[in-house]
Amino acid sequence: MNKYTDSNYQQVIQDQNQEILYKFSENKNLENLEVTKFIEKTSTIDLLKISNSIRNKNNPGIITYSRKVFINLINLCKDSCSYCTYKKEPTDINSVMLKPSQVLSIAEAGKKLRCTEALIVTGERPELKYREAKEWLNKLNYKTLVELIADISESILQKTGLLPHTNAGSLTKKEMSMLKSTNVSLGMMLENSSESLLNVGGPHEKAPSKNPKVRIKSLISAGELKIPVTTGLLIGIGESLFDVIDSLLLINELNEKYGHIQEVIIQNFAPKDGTGMENYIPPTNDYFLKCIAIARILLKNINLQVPPNLSPKIYAGYIDAGINDWGGISPLTPDYVNPEYPWPTIKDITKVTKMKGFTLRARLPIYPQFINNCVKYGNFVPNSLKKFIEDLIDNSGLVKEEYAK
């Protein structure tokens, strides 16, 4: 029998393909083509009923977010994605190469605003392309960007208690091991498993680091090192529904093996002026909702996030699609990757979440289920990080409510 049993879900079972619904619920092996066909013949409303029911069973009553500071360490990048405005050239007035003292000042300001996450973001291996990036590192007495991030993370931890979460692209296993003792989790978007996006004219034509093989290798390395990882998909950049499902099945397969995918972001493409894709049409709301819903259905217990700032007028509807998290929101710093789309205030997010019948709770950049030893997969928290985590959480593993207010 199916284990998701509320009345809405039972109605959907009566109306839809019983066999595939049974496979969904019982974690049976699924083939991409049968999932694709199921979605194509199932109405969006019915998909949302299923995904909403699964979320309500696994995460009843609570939607989370991470209160953070966004540390834009260096925004030079060796890759060039057709939709990106984050990457800057050294001559650009908005190019950034921070000093460690500047990073620490941002973290200290975040501490005063009761942030718990220090999100460290960089371009992809800028020192391999730009002389200026090499010189910046040399002046700071570092050979590689990851060496600098490791020391900065240690400084943030010891001096502010904020928990570092680094998103520096596709790191090697050795590089990840350098960050494990200071970063409670790492981030790297898969974006999509389809290599067709690397083709001439595709969004990743000039971004070899976005090759799915490169990204998958990094995800596997993180799993082998027992590092909690946030990954995700970018929807609407030329992929097919089949590609979306293939990507989700891949993520789920990796998580089944290593248990380390703590969160998947489903992010809608938003065209930006001055990019190669500025005239591309963004995904329709119906298509995007279907992608969120099937992510919730396929990914089972993995936390599911959609950034609210990219859909400021309609993000409340994503709760109906089965998400249980809003991602990182900062009361101090902008979203440097999407500066055109400011974050809603925490007050507004709280109001919208409550309107949908849920309570908003702050979490750390490591989810509660990864804080204690996992029976199946082992320990994801190094001893060096345990005290910093325990000082911030209550018995549920979420941020103490008196701290988050």
State the pTM of this model: 0.93
Say if residue 189's pLDDT is above 50: yes
pLDDT at 1: 37
Dump pLDDT digits (tens) for 44-101. 998 998 899 899 988 889 999 999 999 999 999 999 999 999 999 999 999 999 999 9
Structural domains of the chain sorted by starting position, each given as residue range(s) with its CATH number in brackets: 7-58 (no CATH), 62-404 (3.20.20.70)
pLDDT confidence tier of residue 35, bands split at 50, 70 and 90: confident
Task: Decide: residue 203, CB within 10 A, 0-12 exposed, 13-18 middle, 19+ buried.
Answer: buried
d(CA 364, CA 4): 28
Mean pLDDT of 229-255: 96
d(CA 15, CA 13): 5
DSSP per residue, 1-38: --S--SHHHHHHHHHS-HHHHHHHHTT----HHHHHHH
Task: Decide: residue 28, CB within 10 A, 0-12 exposed, 13-18 middle, 19+ buried.
Answer: exposed
Mean pLDDT of 157-168: 98
